[in-house]
Amino acid sequence: MSLTARDQQVIWHPYTQHKNMVPPVPVLYGKGALLFDENNKTYIDAISSWWVNIHGHAHPYIAEKIYEQAKKLQQVIFTSFTHEPAIKLAERLLQILPGHFSKIFYSDNGSTAVEVAIKMAIQYWKNQSAKGRNKILAFRNSYHGDTFGSMSVSERGVFTLAFYDYLFEVIFIDTPTQENIDGIKKFLELNGDEIACFIYEPLLQAAGGMHIYDPSLLDDLLVTIKSKNIICIADEVMTGFGRTGKLFAGEYMQAGPDIICLSKGLTGGTMAMGVTASSQNIFDAFLSDDKSKSFFHGHSFTANPIACSAALASLDLFEKKECLQQINRIVEYNKNFMNRLAGKYSLSDSKGYTIKNLRQLGTVVAFEMIGGEDGYLNTISASVTENAMQKGIYLRPLGNTVYIMPPYCITEDELNRVYDFLLELIE
Q: Where are the alpha helices (DSSP H) in 35-173?
A: 48-51, 60-70, 84-96, 110-127, 148-152
> Catalytic site residue 143?
yes
* Residue 224 CA: distances (Å) to CA of 124, 187, 191, 198: 20, 11, 12, 12
Amino acid at 372: G
Instruction: Name the catalytic one among 15, 19, 291, 321.
Output: 15
Whether 48 contacts 405, CB under 8 Å: yes
- CA dihedral over 346, 352, 358, 363, signed as positive or negative: negative
Question: Distance (Å, rounded) from C-alpha 220 to C-alpha 378?
Answer: 35
Whether 243 contacts 51, CB under 8 Å: yes
Whether 281 contacts 99, CB under 8 Å: no
Whether 180 contacts 172, CB under 8 Å: no
Instruction: Name the catalytic one among 45, 106, 258, 264.
Output: 264
Question: Distance (Å, rounded) from C-alpha 327 to C-alpha 48?
Answer: 14
Q: Where are the alpha helices (DSSP H) in 199-249?
A: 215-227
Q: What are phi and psi of 204, to 5 degrees?
A: -140, 110
Task: Collapse the DSSP code of 357 into the 3-class scheme (helix H, G, I; strand E, B; otherwise coil) and give the result.
Answer: strand
> Catalytic site residue 353?
no
Task: Collapse the DSSP code of 315 into the 3-class scheme (helix H, G, I; strand E, B; otherwise coil) and give the result.
Answer: helix
Instruction: Name the catalytic one among 143, 252, 394, 403.
Output: 143
Instruction: Name the catalytic one among 124, 235, 344, 408.
Output: 235
Query: Within 13 A of 27's CA, how many CA atoms are on the CB side?
Result: 16
Q: E strand or H helix at 307, and its extent?
A: helix 305-318
Classify residue 99 by its DSSP letter: S
> Catalytic site residue 235?
yes
> Catalytic site residue 106?
no
Residues involved in catalysis: 15, 143, 235, 264
